[in-house]
Chains A and B, each alone.
Chain A
Amino acid sequence: MADSTTAGRTVLVVLDTPDRELRSPARELLTIARDLGEVIAVALTEPSAQTVAELGAYGVRQLLVTDLLGDEADSHLTPVAAEALVAAVTTTAADVVLLSSSFVNREIGARLAYAVGAGLILDASAVSVGEHGVVGDKRVFAGTWDITCAVTTPLAVVTVRANAVVASPAPEAVETEVDHLEVRPSDSATSAVLVSRTEHAPADGGSGRPALAEAAYVVAGGRGTLGDFGPVEDLADALGAAVGATRDAVDEGWVTHDAQIGQTGVTIAPRVYIGAGISGAPHHRGGMQASSVIIAVNNDPDSPIFEIADFGVVGDLADVLPQAAQAIRAHKG
């Protein structure tokens, strides 16, 4: 549906795990992209049938799959992924490239923008097109400031943080045409080689909880759990939430590093964040302060986390969390 605001503009959406399914960050990107122009999805690996079907539901008419040539050409290598996207941008004459905002994607986006002279906006919470061209909103300084950036070059590369919008399929599903593009990465792109790549067992032990980085609900535990994450996990499961943790809890070995929220772990901005037994040190706050609603449970009424919370319970998390979980289950029926 190209109207005056989307006319003639091509938007590439880079899919994170096309070999499996569309995860929520990809669905959110597609939802944003639809308002910016004609959407072309890009997959750096062969897509699954499920991915192609979901793209159709999101109104995407074209999927461009890059086929990498050469022995060392692994799309998990950041420079290789960036070169594949350079080829995709060139072939499609794209105006905007959207990626989800993981550490790796920020680097891929940066290398892509460097190579093609594009402007770069990282961790946008909203993307629009207006009189200033492509504009992104960001929250910075641990969510305490809002800034609006405009890209001043013809091509814009934007990484978008999870939960920036609520994903919604297109009004009408379409047929998605799958096209292939051969790309031979340069020698310099493969100068660092991938010796091994090991996927971890799911941090949640296969309980099917959402991934921390993209969850709409997060329940996090800190030192105050004293190492027992049972109440945290119980409340998380009642809410359908991801489980997170502070650096302290990770260092103690109570949870895996994948669960660490903070400026050097996962930065989250869920709809609801519940912190239990967490004091609210600056590094943790930097990773969660942009959350829409912040709830804290701590037995110390002077904990700094209460200063940034919307709602707080002063009490023992081992009492409060199970009671809350039970009440929420009862409410949900």
Chain B
Amino acid sequence: MRIVVPVKHVPDIHSDRTFTDEGRVARGADDGTLNELDENAIEAALQLVEGLDEAERAVSEVVAVTVGPPEADAALRKAFQLGVDRAVRLTDDALAGSDVFGTAKAIAAVVRTIAADGQVDLVITGMAALDGLASVIPALVSSELGLPQLTLATRLSVEHGQVEIVRDLDGVTEVLSAPAPAVVSVTDHLNTPRYPNFKLIMAARTKEITVWDLSDVGLEPSQVGAAGARTAVLSSAPRPPRADVQLVTDKGEGGLALADYLIRNDLV
């Protein structure tokens, strides 16, 4: 079984996240990390492979791929630590300013290129990137590749080439099924990502990351990046901080103070 896991290098959720003057998410090497929800996708891929018999496992691989600048290697190194077999980074100046469509096109092109030397059975992604939270990349990669989409999985199984997921939406539980190859996105309820062991941490430092540019994956610069984007950021600005909190210590009338705050501000 060959599984591709697209991952994203994102600003640390605990850091001050900002935009550049061009209206793009500022990404530096220092505070960047593997998007936390991608760890669930890697875990899902590893568990599927680990569940195979030995012969099948010997011909299986999990490939982490990312689209981004060289700094994104930090995310791929983390993927190696968790246990992926291979990592590919697509880097090209023309990718700068890609919207969700350009990003999906780039990821799909990487998957196609990997599939050129053997079928890719599954593409497994996290449910969202914690910087953009668009959460539409899996659906768009599915569109690009013409593969079925099975998104927001809280349970995932693959049997006899048939992929089945369970998903919990607002007030509804759905079971979806499709033949592989398919594009799957997983939630953080699917599994608990493993901690990297010492051996993998050491090995991850020296593992080779394959670096491709657009020509390696058969894309033209005009198809991605700002050139191919269908939206433009007109302005971006940090919101002014909230006025200082009005803090009341409860000495028996804290609830009344809360009610009074709502009433005084015409909120009830």
Contact = CB atoms under 8 A, between A and B. Distances in A.
A239 B19 CA distance: 38
A191 interface: yes
B100 A146 contact: no
Contact of A151 (B143, B177, B230): B230
14 contacts: A110-B143, A114-B101, A115-B143, A120-B100, A122-B134, A152-B230, A198-B174, A200-B171, A202-B171, A309-B242, A311-B247, A315-B250, A319-B254, A328-B262
A313 B249 CA distance: 6
A264 B128 contact: yes
B260 A110 contact: no
B238 interface: yes
Nearest to A189: B148
A114 B229 contact: no
**Chain A interface mostly helix, strand, loop or mixed?**
mixed
B143 A144 contact: no
A106 B255 contact: no
B171 A203 contact: yes
A310 B245 contact: yes
Contacts of B99: 119-120
Contacts of A118: 230
Interface string B80-122: 0000000000000000000111001000000000000000000
A320 B231 contact: no
Q: Please give me the 9 A-B residue pairs with the lowest Cβ-Cβ distance, nearest first.
A: A323-B255, A315-B250, A327-B259, A119-B230, A110-B136, A192-B178, A192-B148, A324-B255, A195-B175
A78 B139 contact: yes
B173 A200 contact: yes
B234 A132 contact: yes
Contacts of A199: 171-172
A193 B164 CA distance: 10
B125 interface: no
A153 B230 contact: yes
B51 interface: no
A282 B247 CA distance: 21
A196 B174 contact: yes
Contact of A315 (B37, B178, B254): B254
Contacts of A173: none
Nearest to B172: A199
Contacts of B245: 296, 306-307, 309-312
A310 B243 contact: yes
A119 B229 CA distance: 8
A230 interface: no
A313 B100 contact: no
B203 interface: no
B151 A150 contact: no
Contacts of A24: none
Interface stretch (A26-34, A55-63, A88-96, A135-143): A135-143
Contacts of A296: 245
Contacts of B233: 147-149
Interface of B: 13-14, 17-19, 23, 37, 99-101, 104, 127-128, 130-136, 138-140, 142-144, 146-152, 164, 168-179, 182, 187-189, 229-239, 242-243, 245-250, 252-263, 265, 267-268
Nearest to A263: B130
Contacts of A79: 142, 148-149
B254 A266 contact: no
B139 to A, nearest CB: 4
A76 interface: yes
A282 B139 contact: no
A223 interface: no
A113 B144 CA distance: 12
Given A195-B177, A313-B255, 19 more contacts: A102-B170, A103-B169, A107-B138, A114-B143, A114-B144, A121-B231, A132-B234, A139-B239, A188-B146, A191-B147, A192-B177, A192-B178, A239-B268, A264-B188, A295-B258, A315-B250, A320-B255, A324-B255, A327-B259
Which of B136, B175, B246 gathers most chain A CB within 10 Å?
B136
Contacts of B261: 295, 311
Contact of A306 (B14, B237, B238, B247): B247
B97 to A, nearest CB: 12
B154 to A, nearest CB: 8
Given A106-B135, A144-B238, A195-B164, A332 B176 contact: no
Nearest to A262: B188
Interface string A257-300: 11000011011000110100000001100100000011111000
Given A107-B136, A111-B139, A152 B229 contact: yes
A110 B140 contact: yes
Given A263-B130, A297-B258, A332-B268, A191 B178 contact: yes
